[in-house]
Structure 1
């Protein structure tokens, strides 16, 4: 216990440096053109600028989604028009097919459309085509059309439900967030962990996972900020060895080798027998 106490004190000092000394993360310098590892108070200074940039990116993302949905609908309309050209040779049947095509177009272009009704219309259209003449209308072509439409339906429903976590308990959202992270669905997992932090549910663990997402995506400054927040909330969690290791690697990759070395040494001192410590020794050896 006497040997572990100095190491623990050294680890704690790295996360909570005196106000007049440089932070172990090198954060808090607002003159830096690329500040990182900011505290909550520090982040407020840059909030307006970041909020405008976030809104601009979100607008571009929404425009892209609308354009993709519009292209899918245009593709569906083109296929239906092609079918209409083949069936127009029949007088009475032609009018009915064109009416069905118009009905499908109107439903597909409406955001309030009834997807099940469209599927029923397509099934009726397929039966009609089969009854006309298989030489003029290929049944496999219709099956492709129905498959494409169902794919569009599922994508649209998934988009509408994305981010809607109402009605779910925090415990369930947390379990789903970890599952999404394990499946490398980082964008979805980030939404879940952000939601949990806003609801003050397991903020230390949620910040750790957000740090892991940023680390795996190569956003090392963001990763350091989340690791710092997590450690400040609770520094005795099971993931602390990984947090210290990835903090050191992140610091090394942004060029702060001095601070990276301190984290490697702290990790080795606090958790000498763990797997993370073995990895830290390899990175530390390359810095010497």
Structure 2
């Protein structure tokens, strides 16, 4: 369910100006009209996704063609090797014939050696070419797998986009947008904002130190470190998650939602995602946004059914209903 979580989080803060009516805003139309800025963005992503799907299919077809060529080359090589071996055996038989003159024998030996040399050279060349071709196909396969892992299918895309622009969520979206726009610009944190005893640490060391401080509830010291790491673009997804956690434990739920959303938008396959989804759902419940709370509980249960967070989500969802 690639990017499903990111789209779900984005849907809670998206801007929508008006609801489409009388056919306007129909993304399935051959020539869509009356699209909002959100729908235009969706249509653009849909077009790009179709282009990517076409390219992936072309690359897969190329890989299959190359694999068939390798099989053909291997068959030809085996056939040529057999022919050369048969020729050498025939010549060896002739060498045993006592009636042949010595000069003829020497000539045959020379030809035999030449054939053996050519055979060995061809073997090495063919083997090298086949290995290079196989390596190229392996690399190409990795690229295709990477593309497949980076983009959702058209079915998943449609499902996510339907959640993103449903009329049912329209009023809730407007309220959330107002809250979001009223917030001040993100703070740019420098090393001067960090406790002096940590300023000489590298980004990697700072992240470990901030997590240590988080574990012992030293939030006041940990927060500026995580903010600094985000400013310096060092593992911002993880830093946003921990900032969300600290504001969650401080019961600043709207603030926590903002950081959780940013974390999941940056990277939605982290090991902490079950906890992020659970605490996001609880935060929505605390700010009385019950629809989004239910959506996040449901997503957690569906995506991570075996997690302990999913068990908690099941109980909370029952109480919510």
Which of 10, 30, 34 aligns to 1:16? It is 10
2:234 alignment partner in structure 1: 201
2:267 alignment partner in structure 1: 234
Alpha carbons 1:163, 1:191 under 8 Å: kept: no
Which structure 2 residues correspond to residues 29-108 of structure 1 after superposition, within 5 A? 32=178, 35-36=179-180, 46-47=184-185
Which of 291, 300, 303 aligns to 1:258? It is 291
Alpha carbons 2:244, 2:255 under 8 Å: kept: yes
**1:262-281 Cα shifts (integer Å, max 9, x gaps):** 00000000000110000000
- Unaligned runs of at least 5 residues, structure 2: 15-37, 40-164, 188-192
Structure scoring higher RCO (CA < 8 A, sep ≥ 6) equals: 2
Distance 1:203 1:179 in 2: 17
Which of 256, 273, 284 aligns to 2:317? It is 284
Distance 1:215 1:28 in 2: 23
Which of 300, 304, 307 aligns to 1:267? It is 300
Q: 1:274 to 1:163 in 2, by over 3 A?
A: same
1:67 alignment partner in structure 2: none
TM-score, reference length from structure 1: 0.51
2:17 alignment partner in structure 1: none
Which of 206, 211, 236 aligns to 2:244? It is 211
Q: 1:165 to 1:27 in 2, by over 3 A?
A: farther
Distance 1:169 1:218 in 2: 31
Q: CA deviation at 1:162?
A: 2.2
Runs of 4+ in structure 1 deviating by more than 2 angstroms, as ranges, are 8-13, 15-24, 26-32, 160-167
Distance 1:268 1:277 in 2: 5
Q: CA deviation at 1:250?
A: 0.1
Q: 1:170 to 1:161 in 2, by over 3 A?
A: closer
Q: CA deviation at 1:195?
A: 1.1
Distance 1:274 1:13 in 2: 22
Distance 2:222 2:173 in 1: 26
Q: CA deviation at 1:16?
A: 3.3
1:136 alignment partner in structure 2: none
1:223 alignment partner in structure 2: 256
Alpha carbons 2:226, 2:239 under 8 Å: kept: yes
Distance 1:161 1:12 in 2: 31
Which of 171, 174, 184 aligns to 2:204? It is 171
Alpha carbons 1:204, 1:230 under 8 Å: kept: yes
Matched, 1:249 2:282: yes
Q: CA deviation at 1:198?
A: 1.0
Distance 2:205 2:310 in 1: 33
**1:57-89 Cα shifts (integer Å, max 9, x gaps):** xxxxxxxxxxxxxxxxxxxxxxxxxxxxxxxxx
Root-mean-square deviation (CA, aligned residues, Å) is 3.1
**1:220-275 Cα shifts (integer Å, max 9, x gaps):** 00000000000000000000000000000000000001110000000000000110
TM-score, reference length from structure 2: 0.46
Tell which structure's C-alpha radius of gyration is larger. Answer: 2
Q: CA deviation at 1:168?
A: 1.4
Q: 1:161 to 1:178 in 2, by over 3 A?
A: closer
